[in-house]
Structure 1
Amino acid sequence: SMRDDARARPRLEKHETHRRSLRTYLASVVRHVACGIWLTCMSLCVGAYSALHKRWPERFELRELARRRRVPWVYEYGLRREVLRTRVNAVRASSEKAQKEHLFVCIHGLAGTPDDLCAMEQRLVRDPRAAVYRVTCNAPFKSFDGVEAGATRIVDELKRVVVKFPGLKRLTVYGNSLGGIYARYAVALMYAEDGNVGTMLGLKPCTFLTTATPHLGVGPYGYFAVVPALARATWSKNLGGSIMELTLSDGHRRKSGQPLLVDMADPEVTEPLNFIGALGAFERRCAFANATNDFLVSYETASISPEYLDPALEHKWRTLESSRVVEEYEHDPDAEDAPLKQPSRDSSKIAFQRRMARGLKTLRWKHVNVAFPGFAPLAHNKICALQRTETMEKLFKEGEWCVDL
């Protein structure tokens, strides 16, 4: 009867809601366990490699010397993939002879290549006055030897670029993932070389942009939180200086006793480099973050928001029907804004992160947080539309709309 159906309907709806909640919970558990297992296996492989390196150091040293003698990344425009070279050349052709006034520097991340940021270059070279340069000096494995070493190489490379284009007047720096940390260190070096007077290599700083950059390091957030502490310690100590710095495990190696990223975010640190002063020299700063599905650089660290993200909000973003911008706002250091989130539990675990966020937010930032929904945590490479290989292009091409923003 109709009355019986009306009585049964709420029970059925409640039952269906419970089923959906259970499926969502189980899917989340599977995702976290899978990523945790992958990261743990990587840690064990790193530990095994380190043990072999200590057992037979002479063999590894000979291989390393042979690798370093090779000429790095000698491809046209830094592009190894022929399809990408064809695309870039087609866009460049219309503006190749124009006077270049604005240098756009694109810096890839850990174990990355110049190919990774080709989508951004295709967007930027539409302006005939733009000189777009993707750095090649850290590709692909030199990015493991520490932020300072990589940033120093970048500055040396950019000096040659500036000589090539004598009409340059303005500078924009874009860093993806670890490339954003490289960029922060490199601009501090250039700022210091120009005498801290507001220019960098004689150019006027315009825009500083990062995508999926771990400004607050990695470790307490996202999928890294489910990796056993011993495994995290193994790969942070054996994968090179860059990993130690990203995991804030390098304080014992520094004169200040503080991790590098902490010093880089401290407005009171002005010697030997004024990191915050260099960032402040730019007319604008913008940080793009993945709101969900980034298993390498979580929302909190990329968006410079140290409090843990509300799981219900993360689930809402992850289950959207399509990728989109979910948050866009400007942080004004002079305004007394109410906190966006409640203080997190386990506050001691994010003390460094809170301190870094306070330092970075003494400057004005524009924040754009994007969501690539779905089950697979592939957002880290979608946000830059990474197209290094044909397979990667199929997986990450979806992010081209984000690059066009």
Structure 2
Amino acid sequence: MFLITSNPQLTPPILNSSSLGFRFSPPLIRRMEFVRKLGRKCCVVQSTKQNRKLEVVDVGSGEDVFDDGVKAVPPDHLLIMVNGIIGSAADWRYAAKQFVKRLSDKVIVHCSDCNSATLTFDGVDRMGERLAEEVVTVAKRWPEVSKISFIAHSLGGLVARYAIGRLYQNIPVCQSSNLNRNNENDSEQSLEQLFEARIAGLQPINFITVATPHLGSRGHRQLPILCGLPFLERRAPQTAHWIVGRSGKHLFLTDNDNGGRPLLLQMVNDSENIKFISALGSFKRRVAYANATYDQVVGWRTSSIRRQHELPKSNLLVKDDKYPHIVYVERESSDAFQNGISSVDTPPNLEEEMIRGLTQVPWERVDVSFQKSTQRYVAHTTIQVKNYWLNSDGADVVLHMIDNFLL
């Protein structure tokens, strides 16, 4: 049986997350209490081809998606899905179902609900703090999981990057008494082996972003809806906060809280309190899915973390019968990234600084094109299949995520 639920029966008492630096807010605690009292309230029941019942339970604190029929060996991999601006947990529902259907004995999917609708105007940092608290709650609710992955759409990718920085820890894996004290030369290496990186206490595996403006929306054609017109691109940073609040300031790098640097610039390196790049580097793989065409919200460069000359040429784009809208896949090693950085002679502008910071760790790039699709004008939501009836052509992109997902 497939279930989409917040699983209140597994919700523990009020959690103590002081080890991660969190103190749950009263609204969150009240919400957890509400979940306990509400119980499982089924609002939609459907049948699959295997004659299984699909239950959709809305309890107001996100959705857990899992196969209740898997009982012998419960899944050990928690997948967190994060929505973009003005989004909700429902945005990833199609993809969540596909993950559970194909990897039913491997993954439990949680569609985040802590940053929905106008809460997405609060800014990347505040949203990231809320997401971090939610992830801690979910991880406690599923004590059998040992691994964690993230898939985030649009602005949600920046929020997820902030959250993993807050959740990052180096966990000791053995006692110091196990050090080989007879060989002083090995002591430093042994000390390093005493710790392993964890996100919310779990082993980080996949960090996947989908049409995320990693470099912000400031710059030429980074917000394609402005059509590259210089006048509009100059005015956008001055007016974005009127429409999308603090999130607009962060996207256009106009924030300077307490006289500091823009948040997106801070997030491309480790800070004293938040280890942004260490957290990213702790995942076994990082993947950036990007729309090469027709995305009116997020440009190709910013979503694929590339310079203009690094974007694939049209003659390099290919068509795969299994994934018809995947047109280019780029897998690079850390050495390739370091060589690329050292060989680029570019002034250290804001965009270049973010690229150099983010590519301290290797990324896979997957370029997507809906150029021949009737749904191309809504490419920004089609790439995640936000609504199957409007975005069904993105199903092969979701399938590509599943087929390449590390377990």
Q: TM-score, normalised by structure 1?
A: 0.69
SS of the equivalent of 1:171 reads strand
Contact 1:205–1:283 (CA under 8 A) maintained in structure 2:
yes
1:121 maps to 96
1:240 maps to 245
2:361 maps to 363
SS of the equivalent of 1:136 reads coil
Per-residue deviation, 1:129: 3.1
Residue of 181, 188, 208 corresponding to 2:165: 188
Q: Distance in 2 between matches of 1:318 and 1:293?
A: 17
SS of the equivalent of 1:377 reads helix
Give 2:79's aligned amino acid.
F
Per-residue deviation, 1:138: 0.7
Q: Which has the higher helix share?
A: 1
Contact 2:265–2:354 (CA under 8 A) maintained in structure 1:
yes
Residue of 235, 257, 262 corresponding to 2:265: 262
Q: Distance in 2 between matches of 1:208 and 1:78?
A: 32
Give 2:396's aligned amino acid.
W
Alpha-carbon spacing, 1:315–1:217, altered in 2? closer, same or farther (3 Å) = farther
**What are the within-5 Å matches in structure 2 for residues 50-89 of structure 1?**
89=55
1:398 maps to 393
**What are the within-5 Å matches in structure 2 for residues 309-388 of structure 1?**
313=313, 323-335=324-336, 351-374=349-372, 376-387=376-387
Per-residue deviation, 1:240: 1.0
1:229 equivalent to 2:220? Answer no
Per-residue deviation, 1:125: 1.1
Give 2:115's aligned amino acid.
N
Q: Which has the higher strand share?
A: 2
Q: TM-score, normalised by structure 2?
A: 0.68
Alpha-carbon spacing, 1:353–1:92, altered in 2? closer, same or farther (3 Å) = same
Q: Distance in 2 between matches of 1:319 and 1:326?
A: 6
Contact 1:102–1:168 (CA under 8 A) maintained in structure 2:
yes
Give CA-to-partner distance per residue, 1:41-73, whole Å, 9 cap, x none: xxxxxxxxxxxxxxxxxxxxxxxxxxx9x9799
Give CA-to-partner distance per residue, 1:290-349, whole Å, 9 cap, x none: 111111111100100132687x95699799999522211113231378869x989xx77x
Kindly report the root-mean-square deviation, in angstroms, between the aligned alpha carbons of the 2 structures: 4.0
Greater CA deviation, 120-129 or 137-146? 120-129
Give CA-to-partner distance per residue, 1:115-151, whole Å, 9 cap, x none: 1111220122132231110111111211110111111
Q: Distance in 2 between matches of 1:320 and 1:79?
A: 40
Give 2:86's aligned amino acid.
A
Q: Distance in 2 between matches of 1:136 and 1:94?
A: 22
1:146 maps to 123
Give CA-to-partner distance per residue, 1:21-53, whole Å, 9 cap, x none: xxxxxxxxxxxxxxxxxxxxxxxxxxxxxxxxx
Give CA-to-partner distance per residue, 1:165-224, whole Å, 9 cap, x none: 111100111111111111111111000596995112211101111110111111324323
**Identical-pair percentage:** 28
2:288 maps to 287
1:65 maps to none
Q: Distance in 1 between matches of 2:43 and 2:268?
A: 35
2:82 maps to 107
Alpha-carbon spacing, 1:260–1:337, altered in 2? closer, same or farther (3 Å) = closer
Q: Distance in 1 between matches of 2:131 and 2:340?
A: 37
Contact 1:320–1:373 (CA under 8 A) maintained in structure 2:
no
Per-residue deviation, 1:92: 4.4
Per-residue deviation, 1:161: 1.2
**What are the within-5 Å matches in structure 2 for residues 9-48 of structure 1?**
none
Q: Distance in 2 between matches of 1:319 and 1:330?
A: 17
2:202 maps to 203
Give 1:154's aligned amino acid.
L
SS of the equivalent of 2:280 reads helix
Alpha-carbon spacing, 1:239–1:167, altered in 2? closer, same or farther (3 Å) = same
Give CA-to-partner distance per residue, 1:265-310, whole Å, 9 cap, x none: 13xx331111001100111111111111111111100100132687
Query: Max radius of gyration: which structure?
Result: 1
Per-residue deviation, 1:89: 3.3
Give 1:402's aligned amino acid.
V
SS of the equivalent of 2:336 reads coil
Alpha-carbon spacing, 1:258–1:306, altered in 2? closer, same or farther (3 Å) = farther
